[in-house]
Amino acid sequence: MIRFISLSLFVFFHLGLQCFSQENRPNIIFILTDDQRWDALGFAGNELIHTPEMDRLAKEGLFFENAFVTTPICAASRASILTGTYERTHGYTFGQGEIKPEFIDQSYPALLKESGYHTGFFGKFGVNYSGFESLFDVGENYDRLDRFKDRRGYFYKTIDSDTVHLTRYTGHKAIEFLQQAPLEKPFMLSLSFSAPHAHDPAEEQFFWDRPFDTLYEGQYFPKPPLTDQKYFDALPLYVREGENRNRWYWRFDTAEKYQRSMKGYFRMISEIDHEIGLIRKELEKQGKDRNTVIIFTSDNGYFYGERQLAGKWLMYDNSLRVPMIIHDPRSTQSGIVKDMVLNIDIAPTIFDLAGIDKPKSWQGLSLAGFLNENSAEFERTEFICEHLWQVDIIAPSEGIRTEKWKYFRYINDPQHEELYDLESDPMEKNNLAMNPAFWNRLFEMRKQFEEKEKEMRHRKP
């Protein structure tokens, strides 16, 4: 049974726009942010952040309250978004060379372009693929420049000879694309903002544009939950001494640094929010707002210092859970969707909206049904979560999450297992794996994961 809470119903009467057929396909804009956790927008209940445009998208459309990535790191997560498959299936992450051609050939940009859409991409592609230029009709792949160990990592692109922040540049390229898109074709525009990702080589970490200097200036950010020493001590040694801890020192280890980092992180999100507003104004100016679907999400979650950690990568919900919004002006549905949805659902949803059959190799589910008044039952009860990159500074891990339970283990130390009752313990405070009263549940979850994992590993495109 779908658990859908209707907040409001609204109808836009425009000839033909109620039709989802291939003869009248909608325009689609897919917006991806970098390291924005699920509650880093006002609509999610965050009373400190200023995100009026994201909030408006969520209020007018569908907000997926339980959205997750299957792998909480940018490279693998973006490959999963492109291909609609789990990391264990597509096999791509850092240090793996290029993504396998059989998966990129079955990616949403390749197939959507073939179907007749005018396609564009601007921002961080995040996947190593030498054929990027031919994948889209119009595209530019860029990200922070690590060779600059200061604000120049975010300020090196120019508009009319003026150097601008990457967020402003991406918004500018989006509006330029909309102004130049051919009228005889529907368009599909992918925007991938580098923000609010910290600029790791720099001491200050977070950089934003000048108009946002005073935003949050007088705001005090309360310290995050789970900062007590016992939560840090409960972590295995390789996590306590790993990259999550190193980046905590970079961003959060003093009260002053924590306040500075949180203000910077929020300013960068607010800057993206501003660009979304400019893009929507351009759609309205061109009369395309009533037939353009906007999908919004992030590539992974983020630790604010919980468990005395920073970054992502681990199997806790802090790094797995992301915001997700679908705004379809042709739909009469708006509200909060409670079902578990994933990053691998983005590509099937785009195809469903475009009236194209998805490849059989894709493992995600279309979310377009939630836009219908009599939507069908959503068929997900569990998903695999995984981070398979074998690197010394980040312990690879894997697990499975249902609505009520989460099980995970560290791949190189499978004896360390964690089990959480998410219904009674949503913050994952109490690891039940060592409690004999829950050993039957532990065994069941371990078996469930291993069966699902085997199925994923042997699946081919």
> Residue 97 domain-assigned?
yes
Torsion of CA 70, 73, 75, 79, to 10 degrees: 10
Residue 129 inside a domain? The answer is: yes
pLDDT of residue 458: 65
pLDDT of res. 460:
60
DSSP 38-68: TT-SGGGT-SS---HHHHHHHHHSEEEEEEE
The Cα 187–Cα 118 span in angstroms is 4
Contacts of 21 (CB under 8 A, 6+ apart): 355
Q: How far apart are CA 241 and CA 393, in angstroms?
A: 8
Cα dihedral 39, 235, 196, 335, rounded to 10, equals: -20
pLDDT value at position 457? Answer: 67
Per-residue model confidence (pLDDT) at position 13: 32
Looking at residue 454, its pLDDT comes to: 84
Identify whether the C-beta of residue 329 lies closer than 8 Å to the C-beta of residue 292.
Answer: yes
Asked if the structure places residue 420 within a domain, the reply is no
Contacts of 360 (CB under 8 A, 6+ apart): none
For residue 129, what is the domain's CATH number? Answer: 3.40.720.10
On whether residue 424 sits in a domain, the answer given is: no
CA distance 338 to 70: 17
- Give the residue numbers spanning the domain of 296: 4-381
Q: Is residue 408 part of a domain?
A: no
Is 27 a member of any domain?
A: yes
Residue 161 lies in a domain: yes
Please tell me the predicted confidence (pLDDT) of residue 22: 36
Low-confidence ranges of the chain (pLDDT < 50): 1-23
Q: How many CB atoms lie within 10 A of CB 15?
A: 7
Query: Three-class SS of residue 448?
Result: helix
Inside any domain, residue 439? no
In the chain, the number of structural domains is 1
